[in-house]
Amino acid sequence: MAFAQLALQSIEFSHPGMTMPLFTELTVQFPFGWTGIVGPNGAGKTTLLKVVTGELEAHGGTVNRQGQALYVAQRTNDPPEQFEDFIWAPDATVLKARLRVVEDWPERWDTLSHGERKRAQIAVALWREPAVLALDEPTNHIDADARRLLRRALQEFGGIGLLVSHDRALLDELCSQCVLLDPPSAVLRPGGVTAALAQLDNEETSARSANDALRRTETRLQAEAQRRRVVADQKAAGMRGSKQIKIPVHDHDGRAKRNLAKVSGKDAYAGKMVAQMNQQVGKVAKQRAGIEVKKRYETGIWVDGASFMPRDFLLRLPAGSLPLGGDGRQLHFPDLVLGGTSRIALTGTNGLGKSTLI
Ligand SMILES: Nc1ncnc2c1ncn2[C@@H]1O[C@H](COP(=O)(O)OP(=O)(O)OP(=O)(O)O)[C@@H](O)[C@H]1O
Ligand SMILES: [Mg+2]
């Protein structure tokens, strides 16, 4: 394997039409072994893999990369490049066995299940021995068996690996560090994703409680400032009232003048207090703005105004069987009833006929 090195220096990138850059000033070094790339949907994980492997060009900064880089997409629509070569290569025997790739697969790619295609795709990628291997969601939609085979094969990889995955266990098992993406920021944390996210959670929790405390203080200060403004206004009105009281010509003991001075003095004092309170409010607001409280990402799907189907059932299918492929295999199913509020899990290993049934 060629000497590998991978470093990003001040990378800038945005897709056409984006109002905010996806990455700015992104500087990361990737060591040998696997680095997890973690972030919510749309955070730029796939984009990062493509920038790193040269499929996309950064708009600023530099990608220092030596040796061959391979990007392995999540989708498995097309057979991998060099699939035939791999099948007949003498040095592919171990990988073929390890990932259980069968020799007739290139001819019948169209009939392979996703899990089988994924195993083939990754086997070929590993066989090509790239210096940098970037895998996009390799374990999505594959069963436990295939996942185990993949994990073992990936553990053997000796180059620099980037792994985008929502499979926490896989990230924990393979990765020695994680890049957490949250545009436009990206942070590198040591350890598997569980450790990295726990650290992030802690920081977020303390930021959130500091923010809450400051918000309560801000509200209190605002109320106090308002109260003092009212007092100051009352004082000012009172003073205007006193001013109108004519100071008697014979203010022998200067009492009226003293009273006036007292009132205007109080007014100035109240005004100063209001200004002070406002200053405090401003300070707290500024402190609060300095605390970054990340928004929580919701998962799941909401449809506005949606309601459940009022009917008793949407579908009734009496027990029967379905042919699976051309080799005479059959899928036998029991009576099926689908109600308006049904939530149905359809489970089974890859290639068992789940998609066919649907
Ligand atoms: N060619 C493109 N043109 C314009 N916008 C794009 C393009 N490709 C991706 N984007 C946008 O860039 C953002 C990041 O996309 P990307 O596919 O890198 O996210 P991701 O982290 O891989 O998400 P997911 O977890 O859903 O796979 C998204 O908002 C996406 O819509
Ligand atoms: Mg993606």
CA separation for the pair 6, 26 (Å, rounded): 13
Same domain, 148 and 214: no
Considering only 75-84, 91-100, 126-135, 226-235, which range has the smallest mean pLDDT?
226-235
How far is the CA of 87 from the CAs of 83, 91, 117, in angstroms?
A: 6, 10, 14
- Burial label for 165, CB within 10 Å (0-12, 13-18, 19+), is buried
What ligand 1 atom has the least distance to the C-alpha of 39? 21
Same domain, 207 and 184: no
Q: Please give the distance, rounded to the nearest whole angstrom, from the Cα atom of residue 329 to the centre of ligand 1.
A: 40
What ligand 1 atom has the least distance to the C-alpha of 44? 18
Structural domain boundaries, residue 34: 5-191
CA separation for the pair 351, 92 (Å, rounded): 24
* Listed residue (257, 236, 235) closest to 247, CA to CA: 257
From 127, 160, 191, give the residue that closes a domain: 191
Residue 296 belongs to some domain of the structure? no
From 191, 210, 229, give the residue that closes a domain: 191
Same domain, 101 and 218: no
CA separation for the pair 147, 26 (Å, rounded): 31
Q: Does any ligand 1 atom lie closer than 6 A to the CB of residue 41?
A: yes
Q: Does any ligand 1 atom lie closer than 6 A to the CB of residue 93?
A: no
Q: Does any ligand 1 atom lie closer than 6 A to the CB of residue 47?
A: yes
Same domain, 93 and 181: yes
Q: What is the pLDDT of residue 89?
A: 97
With 70 as the cut, is the pLDDT of residue 293 above it?
A: no
Averaged pLDDT, 231-256: 69
Answer left, alpha or beta for residue 141, where phi above 0 means left and psi between -120 and 50 means alpha.
left
From 140, 162, 191, give the residue that closes a domain: 191
Same domain, 110 and 209: no
CA separation for the pair 91, 28 (Å, rounded): 34
Same domain, 139 and 27: yes
Cβ-Cβ contacts under 8 Å for 281 (sequence gap 6 or more): 218, 221, 222, 225
Q: Please give the distance, rounded to the nearest whole angstrom, from the Cα atom of residue 79 to the centre of ligand 1.
A: 23
Same domain, 53 and 136: yes
With 70 as the cut, is the pLDDT of residue 243 above it?
A: no
Q: Please give the distance, rounded to the nearest whole angstrom, from the Cα atom of residue 223 to the centre of ligand 2.
A: 48
Q: What is the pLDDT of residue 297?
A: 44
Residue nearest to atom 28 of ligand 1 (CA): 42
Contact 53, 69 (CB under 8 A): yes
Q: Does any ligand 1 atom lie closer than 6 A to the CB of residue 45?
A: yes
Residue 295 belongs to some domain of the structure? no
Average pLDDT value over all residues in the chain: 85
Place of tokens 């994990």: 151
Same domain, 231 and 348: no
Q: pLDDT-based confidence at 193, cuts 50/70/90?
A: confident
Q: What is the pLDDT of residue 270?
A: 76
Considering only 139-153, 156-170, 274-288, which range has the smallest mean pLDDT?
274-288
Place of tokens 């998962």: 299
Residue nearest to atom 29 of ligand 1 (CA): 42
pTM over 0.85, yes/no: no
Same domain, 81 and 186: yes
Residue nearest to atom 4 of ligand 1 (CA): 15
| CA of residue 158 relative to chain centroid, distance | 28
Residue 305 belongs to some domain of the structure? no
Considering only 55-59, 246-250, 299-303, 332-336, which range has the smallest mean pLDDT?
299-303
Residue 158 belongs to some domain of the structure? yes
Looking at the DSSP bridge assignments, the partners of residue 62 are: 9
Q: How many CB atoms lie within 10 A of CB 104?
A: 9
With 70 as the cut, is the pLDDT of residue 228 above it?
A: yes
Cβ-Cβ contacts under 8 Å for 127 (sequence gap 6 or more): 86, 89, 91, 92, 95
Looking at the DSSP bridge assignments, the partners of residue 69 are: 132
Residue 344 belongs to some domain of the structure? yes
Considering only 275-279, 284-288, 303-307, which range has the smallest mean pLDDT?
303-307
